[in-house]
A and B are shown apart, each in its own frame.
Chain A
């Protein structure tokens, strides 16, 4: 992937960071291979909780979501030869002790919201900002969303990112992510 395009992608991430509704910039990690890019940025507790409080989520739920590590993920494909499929169920988190955990996806959280009887408007707002659990991307597509990581703030972990280009499976691991 050309430097020009890579810089364009990073600019998009930077603009996302600088946009109203998001708060100050933190660490960004980018995985890039053969036209597929995944960028993750850690989100602070306050910005995460206040984002959901502002969209009608009750304080206990906003707190519960924001307490663990939360990432803002941007996926982008410029793969022309086949569609790229990303399934969050294939992603894993590896904590410092080596234990692997699955990602807590949109469906898990929505089930919790339903149990709490959350209003439809708040539910829609919540759902749409979560990274989809499965997505097919064509060349030029970008997907962004939040991801809840079952690791306490202050602790480092690896994020194992998996995707498919057609039937070909790919994997990369990002080391040293930590939410403060």
Chain B
């Protein structure tokens, strides 16, 4: 394949076979050392748009009712591979920070509850943070989410201060530390 570019670039053409997917595993620890932080600081700290959504037990979760706590909001869908991969690490983040008052909310975007329930029921171990359904996509709209997964951290004052677009490993130490520091901030 020829490269036609104004600057030098590398174009790789790879033919992947399904079975080859597992043959290129990179040691997680080795790759992690050079990776950027899980969360990026948001430049303009705007108030998080409020929402009111139900979980599996039909309990209503209203974001503004969690004012004074740090809330991690993760938008996901069951058809989205990176969303599925990162959910267990989000659970690790929740378990590591819940005692400090951090809440994690998983907001499913646009799928019927039956689909969400079938997917979450198959997760092992089960998720310990609430999964909410946003079948009408209202949060996607009000938060102006353009792609999934998208994760935002709302500080104790209700402002969005951190974000991560695309799949992440939220069990990483820097992610836990960032969220913990926000929870401990005066």
Contacts and interface: CB of A to CB of B under 8 A. Distances in A.
Given A4-B26, A141-B165, A176-B1, A18 B34 contact: no
Contacts of B14: 10, 27-30
Contacts of A11: 21, 24-26
A67 interface: no
Contact of A25 (B3, B16, B79): B16
Nearest to A170: B7
B10 A28 contact: no
Nearest to A140: B36
A79 to B, nearest CB: 9
Interface residues of B, number: 55
Nearest to B168: A140
Interface centre among A25, A128, A132, A137 (most CB of B within 10 A): A128
Interface string B99-132: 0000000000111100000000000000000000
A150 interface: no
B85 interface: yes
B116 to A, nearest CB: 12
A140 B38 contact: yes
A124 B109 contact: yes
Q: Is the interface of B mostly helix, strand, loop or mixed?
A: loop
Given A14-B24, A124-B110, A175-B4, A140 B35 contact: yes
Interface in B30-89: 30-31, 34-38, 40, 77, 79-82, 84-85
B186 interface: no
B16 A28 contact: yes
B79 A129 contact: yes
Nearest to A129: B79
Q: How many A residues touch the partner, as a band?
A: 35 or more
Contacts of B12: 10, 29-30, 32
A78 interface: yes
A77 to B, nearest CB: 9
A124 B6 contact: no
B5 A171 contact: yes
A76 B166 contact: yes
A84 B79 CA distance: 26
B129 to A, nearest CB: 22
A176 to B, nearest CB: 5
B3 A172 contact: yes
A22 interface: yes
Contacts of B37: 139-140
A2 interface: yes
Contacts of A58: none
14 contacts: A10-B14, A11-B21, A14-B24, A22-B81, A25-B17, A32-B10, A124-B137, A129-B79, A131-B147, A135-B147, A140-B37, A140-B166, A143-B166, A170-B7
Given A14-B21, A32-B12, A120-B137, 20 more contacts: A10-B14, A16-B81, A20-B81, A29-B1, A30-B10, A31-B11, A76-B166, A121-B112, A124-B137, A125-B110, A128-B80, A137-B165, A138-B163, A139-B37, A140-B168, A143-B147, A171-B5, A172-B11, A173-B3, A175-B4
Interface of B: 1-18, 20-21, 24-26, 30-31, 34-38, 40, 77, 79-82, 84-85, 109-112, 135-137, 140, 146-148, 163-168
